Amino acid sequence: MNEEATPAGTTVRFHCGHGADAAEARVTLQRQCPLCMLLAETRRSRDQLLHRVAPNGRAALARETRIGASYEWICSRGHSRYQASVRETLTGPGCPKCARNARAPAARYEGGVPFMKPGLKTRTSQAEQKLRMLLGERIALPHRVNAIRINRTFYGKPEVWPDIIIPAVKVAIEYDSPGRDKTAHRGLKVVSDREKDAALEEVGWAVIRVRADGLESLGPHSIVTVGVTAALVDEILVMLALIRGEAAVAALQNQGPGG
């Protein structure tokens, strides 16, 4: 991602409206600025970013185009302010103290524990809902967990929220689709997906990634598919058996509805 624009004195204007003023721009590029591109890839808005930056940086960040630009940020948990680039804020661990706390002995003791986080709001697609329904017809899926503790921070949080969690075998299932704009789970988002998988693997969990609608495999536990079907569920069960053994999968099939 090129950063050919600077917030002041530039002669470049981007399609998103950032960069030079229209009257001063020598070149107008028919694409978004690097910062808006990164926000789109990480499914965030500039308003969300502005709520995290220190007040004295909000005016500049509102016009910012560079992902390498450094700002002072406010920790949502009340820790000391910290300096980081826009790129690090959107894709890195966040507040340094939060990161240290996540690596502390007490936090490591909880690493890998699934739990129910009240009020958690995540966007669930119709394809994800269908996959959960079809998979739930074959094996027991719990309904009282939606998050897993990790031994690091992920987007500043000490937990992750997989699409489907199977605590009995410590396997999480993620359904990845590029979405309507065809940018989700591509580019820098792939780095984020890999970091999430690594965080879960550190605490003893395996991740099956279902890669749909043209997304490429991310590794040996990926399943490339064209859509949610009974055949896809068969593939997931085969993958579960490869990861945890046929006896473990058979035990899931013998259980009643998850609780």
pLDDT in tens, 230-247: 999 999 999 999 999 999
- Classified as helix, coil or strand, 120 is coil
pLDDT tens for 164-205 read 999 999 999 999 998 887 888 888 788 889 989 999 998 999
The candidate with the shortest Cα–Cα distance to 7, out of 78, 51, 67, 76, is: 67
How far is residue 177's CA from residue 2's CA, in Å, rounded to a whole number? 26
Highest-confidence segment of 73-87, 100-114, 124-138, 177-191: 124-138
CB 195 within 8 A of CB 218: no
- Classified as helix, coil or strand, 218 is coil
* pLDDT reading at 10 higher than 80: no
| Residue ranges in the chain assigned as alpha helix (H) | 34-41, 46-52, 58-63, 86-91, 96-102, 105-110, 126-136, 188-202, 230-244, 246-254
- Check: pTM over 0.85? Answer yes or no: no
* pLDDT reading at 39 higher than 90: no
Determine the pLDDT at residue 256.
53
Q: Please state the separation of Cα 34 from the chain's center in Å.
A: 19
CB 127 within 8 A of CB 99: no
